[in-house]
Amino acid sequence: MNVEIKISKRPIPYIKALKYLEKRVNDIKSKKGKDFIWILEHPTTYTAGVRASNEEILDKKIKIIPTNRGGKITLHNPGQKIVYFAINLNDKKKDIRNFIKFIEKSIIDFLKIYKIKSKSDRKNIGIWVKNKKIAAIGVKVSRWVAYHGCSINIKNNIKEYQKIIPCGLSNNKITSIKNEGILKINKVEENLKKTFVSNPVSYTHLRAHETD
């Protein structure tokens, strides 16, 4: 599968990123675009998935951006890496669960590079280090084009989760690579690209064409 990899060095506002992602999805649907993976960060932003409820907002002063992804309320902030996808499943295996497994395994392999042992959980989607969540996953599928993606806590300020009930969890159940005691966190974008591009879970190996 030939896929374009886009890596943004500066934080991209959430709405701007979402509009661009949706354009890429529409390009794939109209057979004008190729599969797409985008690695980036957002400024501090709280978003609500389709299963979110107002009870999950603890600080009523924060702005919540509604989205059409799966999941509940979550946080994006500097130091957290986002991996967005626009992947055409029409020419691959039409299996949403299998696509989620591809994301899960890629995150687990990425965390192994930093000596962090993690796991997935069928009942509580995301990636966990012991009993704490380190990565969230939210995917939407339209005409078998899968998009949105995952967020991975690298060295972001996890205290900002205290303003919400993140993904329906208590605030003390969120962690990051830095919070796990890893101080040397190098080559994050390079390692994300390597793990997501080389992961063969029911897909052919991706051939990357990188843009910025």
Q: Which residues are catalytic?
A: 167
Contact yes or no for 153/135 (Cβ under 8 A): yes
166 phi and psi angles, rounded to 5 deg:
-70, 125
Edge-to-edge strand ranges of the sheet holding 64-66: 64-66, 45-48, 73-76
